[in-house]
Amino acid sequence: MTDTPVLSVHDLVVEIPTRHGVLRPVDNVSYDIHAGEILGVVGESGAGKSMTGNAVIGLLDRPARIVSGEILLSGQPIQGLKRDVIRKLRGKKMGMIFQDPLTSLNPLLTVGDQLTETILEHLKVGQTEARKRAIAALEEVGIPAAAQRINSYPHEFSGGMRQRVVIALALCAEPDLVIADEPTTALDVSVQAQIVALLKRLCRERGVAVMLVTHDMGVIAEAADRVAVMYAGRLAELGPVREVLTQARHPYTAGLMASTPLASQGRKRLRQIPGSMPRLGALPTGCAFHPRCEFAQDKCRQEPGPTIDRCDGRAACWFPLTAKQEVSA
Amino acid sequence: MSALISVRDLTRVFDVSKPWLNRVIERLPRALLTAVSEVSFDVPENSVYALVGESGSGKSTIGKIIVGLVPPSAGSVEIEGVDLATETDAKKVEAVRDDIQMIFQDPFASLNPRWRVRNIIEEPVAAKGGKTNGLAEKLLEQVGLSAADAGKYPHEFSGGQRQRICIARALASEPRIIVCDEPTSALDVSVQSQVLNLMSDLREDLGLTYLFISHDLTVVQHMADVIGVLYLGRLVEEAPRDRLFNEPKHPYTQMLFDAAPKMDAFGREVDPPKGEIPDAINPPPGCAFHPRCPLATERCKTEHPEMRHIGETRVACHHAE
């Protein structure tokens, strides 16, 4: 691992001005991703996990905008760069894998055309070399008979194969960072296992830093090295996967883990976190999680939740759980 | 104990041919998709029977046939001894229809946005001219919402709350059977647990029978008494929950279990399953799973395996033991 992280996000704030006031889908989020590392970002819908990814890669839809904070790519700040500069970086330095492979491929171009276009745009190679590389990229992601399949259109591939093509597309210009936004959500279990294994292999072999955005704790447990748990736009907890999932410090993470049906716990009644995630327009005062938190105290109701620095960079909570404190079932 | 729902050799074929003119010009044969093929199972009263499978395995089609939204091509479904597709006595059919309700996957698409929650919930009773005084309020409280919510519209609720409204609607006609088609797939984890707990409570309080359709093995393991595993429209294995999870007999079931992400398997290196689900229009001959199966032999390529009983398990595989 090198000293400079591939991606370093500091105090990132994204705001969306609306008629009813300014919403903050991403609020003071900081994390690093090193080369060859997979950072999992989990959270429920509306937690701001996709928004963080889009902000990094410069794909925020207006009126959403980055208000403050720093995004460093290999030590270089990239926020506030001109659109065409970001455009060059996107693809060359950062690749993106979206949830739905059918909408992220152009249905009117063959897979080969889309790959060679990206390669020609970002690498200094000729047409024949680009095509060669495109075939190699398809082979690398495990598409059989790549030399023939390169002339196929996206609709001729199955869902899993399409997602492989999208991964090849994200990796063909040899980026340092790949942002995978729910890459397996639209896929079946058996295909999901293939794609997760593929991502892990590519990450290890190429030393790419991967930001894996998902809501599936199982995928995170298997694939990620470290995990960031998001709640209502803020980082709730950040740490190595094993520690966060087995010894959660933030009550939200603990609740999330307890409410997932586990093979080992059998038929026991599931623990439930009461209520649901607040809407961004109606965040409670104090810590955003306090109305659903069983450990909430007056301080949580009045003061906004702390940043994760307060608890060794692990949990953004005034009263983090200790190892002994189990969430009552 | 006789079964509440009894499914025998259920088959459903969909015609997915191109339009007539294209077929003539391009000289294409008719394309038939066998969504469900010779599926038989029984659901005893007050139990939870789960159907699991990947996309295209026919699990939703079976659910739709059972509630009567899709007619079967062959085979039969008997509910309380009445076959809805062939029964001629209208009274009997009506009585059975009252006893069966359905909960759908997407609570955003299955509630009419222009109806108030009260009307939505009362509709199954009101449509038959029943009395609906205070019914919606009572049901809303039963599913954990407040009676005052009856005057609101669906858009005022979150996903989990909407799914509760769907459950309340399903309960309105006091059914004995509820077919749940992926009831929690569209929900977040913390909300999913609320809905699953609610469904377990209602089952105990009201003595309901669930046909639970899902692709999520952990949810199925939590909810089901008996689980049927489907692959390409065929039932490949059926066993009581613990039996299935401890001793999966069919190679496909084993593959599914291995592939499912596990929360306690940090950095697990899996050898991912090979291949993908074949095209249902041209399924492989013999056992449909043979191209992906590690145990496949010549026999599997030609001969379709029959359902066999091994202990409590029913399995369709030449090599299972």
User: Would you state the pLDDT for residue A328?
Assistant: 44
pLDDT tier for residue B56 given thresholds of 50, 70 and 90? confident
B54, B164, B189, B246: best to mutate for the A interface, most A CBs within 10 A: B189
CB contact under 8 A, A215 and B268: no
pLDDT tier for residue B166 given thresholds of 50, 70 and 90? very high
User: Would you state the pLDDT for residue B73?
Assistant: 92
- Joined tokens for residue A326: 């189990």
ipTM of the complex: 0.78
DSSP SS3 for B188? coil
Show the CA angle centred on residue B100, arms to residues B9 and B110, nearest 5°: 105
Q: Give the residue-averaged pLDDT of A311-316.
A: 77
User: Would you state the pLDDT for residue B192?
Assistant: 87
pLDDT digits (tens, 9 = 90+) for A34-75: 998 999 999 888 888 888 888 888 888 888 888 888 898 888
CB contact under 8 A, A189 and B272: no
A259 touches chain B (CB under 8 A): yes
What mean pLDDT, rounded, does chain B reach?
88
Q: Pick the residue with more confidence: B59 or A325?
A: B59
User: Would you state the pLDDT for residue B267?
Assistant: 67
Q: Which long-range contacts (CB under 8 A, 24 or more apart) does A23-29 make?
A: A23/A280, A23/A281, A24/A233, A24/A280, A25/A51, A25/A64, A25/A233, A25/A280, A26/A51, A26/A52, A26/A55, A26/A233, A27/A232, A27/A233, A27/A234, A28/A69, A28/A234, A28/A235, A28/A307, A29/A69, A29/A230, A29/A233, A29/A234, A29/A235
User: Is a pLDDT exceeding 50 seen at residue A101?
Assistant: yes
Query: Dihedral, CA atoms, B216, B222, B224, B227, nearest 10 degrees?
Result: 50
Closest among A186, A258, A214, A289 to A45, alpha carbons compared: A214
Q: Pick the residue with more confidence: B34 or A262?
A: B34
Closest among A32, A86, A22, A23 to A54, alpha carbons compared: A86
A62 touches chain B (CB under 8 A): no
DSSP SS3 for A27? strand
CB contact under 8 A, A219 and B261: yes
pLDDT tier for residue B113 given thresholds of 50, 70 and 90? very high
Interface of B with A in 56-115 (CB under 8 A): none
Using CB atoms, which residue from A192, A262, A269 is nearest to B197?
A269
Distance in Å, alpha carbon of A298 to nearest chain B alpha carbon: 24
Per-residue buried b or exposed e for B224-261, using 16+ beta carbons within 10 Å of the residue's own CB: bbbbbbbbbbbbbbbbebebbbeebbbbbbbbbbbbbb
User: Would you state the pLDDT for residue A267?
Assistant: 63
Q: For residue A69, count other CB atoms closer than 10 A to its CB.
A: 18
Helix runs in chain B, H state only: 20-26, 59-67, 90-98, 117-126, 135-142, 159-171, 189-206, 217-223, 241-246, 251-259, 298-302
A37, A45, A189: best to mutate for the B interface, most B CBs within 10 A: A189
Position B127: which residue type?
A
pLDDT digits (tens, 9 = 90+) for B63-95: 999 998 889 999 999 998 888 888 888 888 888
C-alpha–C-alpha distance, residues B290 and B299, integer Å: 10
Using CB atoms, which residue from B160, B263, B270 is nearest to A260?
B263
CB contact under 8 A, A190 and B276: yes
Position A144: which residue type?
P
C-alpha–C-alpha distance, residues B261 and A262, integer Å: 11
Distance in Å, alpha carbon of A86 to nearest chain B alpha carbon: 33
Position B107: which residue type?
P
Using CB atoms, which residue from B160, B222, B267 is nearest to A270?
B222
Q: Which residues in chain A have Cβ-Cβ distances shorter than 8 Å to B267? A: 222, 225, 241
pLDDT digits (tens, 9 = 90+) for A203-220: 888 889 999 998 888 888
Name the closest residue on chain B to residue A278, using Cα atoms. B158
CA distances from A41 to A27, A214, B194, B235 (A): 15, 6, 23, 37
CB contact under 8 A, A215 and B158: no
Using CB atoms, which residue from B191, B255, B267 is nearest to A190?
B255
Give, for A8, the enclosing helix (H) or strand (E).
strand A7-18
Q: Which residues in chain A have Cβ-Cβ distances shorter than 8 Å to B222? A: 261, 267, 270
Crossing angle of helices A159-171 and A111-122, rounded to 10°: 10
Name the closest residue on chain A to residue B191, using Cα atoms. A276
B204 touches chain A (CB under 8 A): no
Residue where the block lists tokens 């300014």: A22
B146 touches chain A (CB under 8 A): no
**Complete DSSP assignment for A146-179:** HHHHTTS-GGGS-HHHHHHHHHHHHHTT--SEEE
pLDDT tier for residue A329 given thresholds of 50, 70 and 90? very low
pLDDT digits (tens, 9 = 90+) for A162-193: 888 999 998 888 888 999 998 888 788 888 88
Prior bond of A304 cis (ω within 30°): no
Residue where the block lists tokens 């709640």: A231
